[in-house]
Amino acid sequence: MMTDKAHNTGSQPHIRILALDVGTKRIGMAVSDPLGITAQGLPTLTRISRNKDLDLIKKVVEQYEVQAVVIGLPVRMGGEASTQTTRVEKFADFLRSSTKLPIHLFDERLTSWEAHQLLDEQKLDRHQRKGKVDKIAACLILQGFLETQKK
């Protein structure tokens, strides 16, 4: 499931997209390569406040010349909305009005589970995983979004 509340990026060449995995404590981030083919993880943002989080995200947008943002939309396995779904939708609206960038919401079901599976394979302990799950989840969200844009 993908919902698009802004312009469709379609298959425009050379557009960099920022992906966010928005949680209550951290925001995982990934950016597409300049050709929009692959996702590259960025350092995970530890949340401070909505405005300070926005300032840091704006710096990333500027640094990578981001032209669109995709945010993982957390929904339940059956597709129903949750409390976190509402929080993420409000954050997406805030980001849209603050940056004027196209914001896309992308179903993130199973991305955190998949990220944990990848880290299990690396045999990382709980301390070593901190922030990595969020970064990997953001990469998975972005890769999934990029795949849908190719179709």
Picking from 44, 20, 16, the residue whose alpha carbon sits closest to that of residue 105 is 20
Q: What is residue 5's DSSP assignment?
A: S
107-131, pLDDT tens digit by residue? 886 666 666 566 666 666 666 656 6
Ranges of each domain in the chain: 2-150
Cross-sheet strand order for the sheet of 26-32:
2-4, 103-107, 66-73, 16-22, 26-32, 39-46
Q: Poorest-confidence range of 33-37, 68-72, 76-80? A: 76-80
Say if residue 4's pLDDT is above 60: no
Confidence (pLDDT) at 126 = 64
**Residue corresponding to tokens 């312009």:** 7
Q: Which residues pair with 21 in a beta bridge?
A: 28
Whether pTM > 0.85 for this model: the answer is no
Domain 2-150, what fold?
A: Nucleotidyltransferase; domain 5 (3.30.420)
